[in-house]
Chain A
Amino acid sequence: MVDLTQLHDAILRGDAKKAVAVTREALAENASPTELVSKHMIPAMDEVGRRFECQEYFVPELLLSARAMKGALELIRPLLVEQGVASAGRVIIGTVKGDLHDIGKNLVASMLEGAGFEVIDLGTDVAPGKIVTEILERKPNIVALSALLTTTMPFMKSTIEELRKAGVREQVKVMVGGAPVTQQYAEQIGADGYSDNANGAVAIARKLVSG
């Protein structure tokens, strides 16, 4: 039997090759896909997130770990779908209109994926109307918005207003983040959650879907 702590360690070290190899071997030995995810990958990504939050890890390390996690997940995902395993929740994420900064948004998306969420990434410069359409089509639990510019942050507010107008605001939880965004601003525009980092984003998302 393959030693599954190796999967945990490979993700922690950001070693994608190793992560994929161990996963492949484990699946060949009929390991349970759900257990691989919940007992090994999610705890590994939780640890990565913790290290990132206390600044032991930085953007490059987080990205490498995310890549390793994604490599392994690609092998497992078809099996999860086959077995009809539900994700932790569905999230649509994007950088708001007028803004092309996406590095932080991508990290948040990866961490959410690593935590077992299904993530639909709408990219950058996402207009409020597009979010409404996607909500109607994809029925997500959470809408996550990122903004890095003082001048584009107000589009978070207009997006929430647009959701309200379209009558879909109550169908989703909205969380916001990005360097200029603050807890206070998040509350002021009526968002449901805020965090200043990718690890916190996972904690918020978990809280939002559980209650």
Chain B
Amino acid sequence: MPEKPASDLVHIRLHPQGTTLHVPRGTPLQEILFEYGVEFPCGGHGRCKGCRVRILSGDAPWTPGEEEVLSPAELADGWRLACRSRASGDVTLEIRQWEAAILADHSSFEFRPGEGLGIAVDLGTTTLAAQLLDLATGDVLAVRTGLNPQAAYGGDVMSRIQYALSPGGQPRLEKLIRSGIGDLILGLLEAAGRGREIGDVVIVGNTVMHHLFCGIDIAPLAHYPFEPARDGLEIRESGALGWNIPGRPPVRFLPCLGGFVGSDILAGIIASGMHESMELAALIDLGTNGEIVLGNRERMLCASTAAGPAFEGARIRMGMQATTGAISAVEVSDGNFHCRVLGGVPARGICGSGVVDAVAAGLKLGVIQPSGRFAPHVQQWHLATDVTLYQGDIRELQLAKAAIAAATHLLLLRWQAERGDVRHVYLAGAFGNYVDRASAGRIGLLDFPFHIVEPSGNTALLGAKMVLCNSDLTDDFADLRRRIRHVPLAADPLFEDSFVDCMSFPEPGAQNEI
């Protein structure tokens, strides 16, 4: 052990994994747990209790504000919000998200106790997340996350396809992703302890990831009409994938829904429970490729709408990822604005949630006009000493938000529903977790009342876990998929008008009451 003053480091034990972390005293739990794959559905604002942890041993005083979200009984029971707490002493923590019970939060999901261990994988275009589950209890035993190693060959799906079409490209991408996930699984197995057999592996991802992992010819996805040759359930032998997993489990990649809409969205539907309710709900995954599902138990429509990378801070002059130094939030009070910077250092850029907030703030303060243009005397907006918002950044955001808003509008139209009929809006994906819902409403990105919009975390992984715990190996979800229709927006004559209509920002007071 390195010689450190005992008071400097504290020990955090994670239950039930048994991992022990040594961290400087006073470190926010959010920083520590985020690295371990714990999600913060409301963005760590203490507004939901998705990140709650229970202090099993040790002492962690609760902080003001927590009593608004957690009941006195929960507080007395040792529950705390991870996003509000700091590592003030040695503790053992139980993480609510990793327990089977959370699977049932949104749906009438019935947990069917199984045997042995299973692995759920969310194969994202950018990031990978894998969890090891005890199928008897549904508990998460280990979590591993990583970057998609294919990202070196293109950030978005189209660039990835472009690379795959070059000589030797597709086999190389296939090899990369298979070994990338293989590595995560090795990590999970190590955490589980030697000799434990795996019974089942479930993978979800968008259509391009499905093809590149399974080795299906990607060429049909390169251009219109984007009709995949094969996009159903794919089952592989783990050995055939180059994975040496005890128990030699079959590996299932769940089926896609149509066009670019893949099993990550199928899993999201399952996680949200919208397919079991009569209430009209929307599932919105805000990413470079925005995916939207609208419907209820009887029928659902889905679409993918290419928003572009503005939400990830790309194509924004001073844009950056949501890491240290990024302006992640902009608040307005008493006619002034105030920036929040990740990591508490001076700002050096702005991330997607910051851009949405900044534009919402600019609209409130009159710095930005509803047309998206800066006010007459303004050329650019200095948000911090070294960070400026430019006119082109606002234009980029207008394109991205209009693509999402127009797609939402079109699905409502095709479903023959009014905006007001929607009862729940589930926001999936990393950006959905961090974007401020009021700001998203203000700029017209999500034109729904604040209180029905629920940040829902990684619904793809959640759904994959539910499938792992509750379905037969050969289930191809034919019944569910029959109720979901894919709407290709590019061929829709109404899209362009709707897209242009959605490009401006709502006039003050015009958007939904929040």
Contact = CB atoms under 8 A, between A and B. Distances in A.
B224 A99 contact: yes
A97 interface: yes
A124 B496 CA distance: 13
A55 B395 CA distance: 8
B511 interface: no
B491 A103 contact: no
Contacts of B165: 151
Contact of A151 (B222, B371, B496, B501): B222
B223 A149 contact: yes
A102 interface: yes
Given A97-B223, A151-B222, A152-B223, A59 B490 contact: no
B504 A56 contact: no
Interface in A75-120: 97-103, 106
Contacts of B371: 58, 60-61
A56 B373 contact: yes
Given A58-B503, A59-B500, A103-B499, A151 B373 contact: no
Nearest to A63: B500
B372 interface: yes
B162 interface: yes
Interface residues on B, range: 20 to 34
A121 to B, nearest CB: 14
Interface in A33-88: 55-61, 63
Interface string B147-164: 000000010001101100
Contacts of B499: 103
Nearest to A96: B223
Contacts of B496: 102-103, 106
A150 interface: yes
Given A98-B223, A99-B223, A151 B503 contact: no
A40 B499 CA distance: 30
B490 A100 contact: yes
A58 B224 contact: no
Interface in B368-398: 371-373, 391-392, 395, 398
Contacts of A98: 222-224
B224 A125 contact: yes
B344 to A, nearest CB: 34
B498 to A, nearest CB: 12
A149 B158 contact: yes
Nearest to B223: A98
A133 B395 CA distance: 38
A58 B503 CA distance: 9
A151 B392 contact: no
Contacts of A106: 496
Contacts of A97: 223
B158 A150 contact: yes
Given A58-B395, A58-B398, A100 B491 contact: yes
Contacts of B224: 98-100, 125
Nearest to B392: A55
B507 to A, nearest CB: 14
Contacts of B159: 150
Interface in B154-185: 154, 158-159, 161-162, 165
A60 B223 contact: no
Contacts of A150: 154, 158-159, 161-162
B223 A58 contact: no
B392 A60 contact: no
Residue among A58, A98, A103, A152 with the highest chain B CB neighbour number at 10 A? A58
Contacts of A60: 371, 500-501, 503-504
B445 to A, nearest CB: 16
Interface string B185-214: 000000000000000000000000000000
Given A97-B223, A98-B222, A101-B490, A59 B503 contact: yes
Given A98-B222, A150-B158, A58 B491 contact: no
Contacts of B154: 150
B373 A58 contact: yes
Contacts of A151: 158, 161-162, 165, 222-223
Contacts of B372: 58
A66 B391 CA distance: 22
Contacts of A61: 371
Contacts of A102: 496
A125 B499 CA distance: 20
Contacts of B503: 58-60
Interface string B470-510: 00000000000000000000110000100111011000000
A60 B498 CA distance: 11
A145 B404 CA distance: 27
Nearest to A57: B373
A109 B397 CA distance: 24
A125 to B, nearest CB: 6
Contacts of B373: 55-58
A57 B503 CA distance: 12
A149 B226 CA distance: 12
Given A55-B392, A60-B500, A99-B223, 19 more contacts: A55-B391, A55-B395, A58-B373, A58-B398, A60-B371, A60-B503, A97-B223, A98-B224, A99-B224, A100-B491, A101-B490, A102-B496, A103-B496, A103-B500, A149-B158, A150-B162, A151-B158, A151-B222, A152-B222
14 contacts: A55-B373, A55-B392, A55-B395, A58-B373, A60-B371, A60-B504, A97-B223, A98-B223, A100-B224, A149-B158, A150-B158, A150-B162, A151-B223, A152-B223
Report, nearest first, the 8 A-B pairs whose CB atoms are least far apart: A98-B223, A100-B490, A151-B222, A55-B391, A150-B162, A150-B158, A98-B224, A60-B503
Interface of A: 55-61, 63, 97-103, 106, 125, 149-152
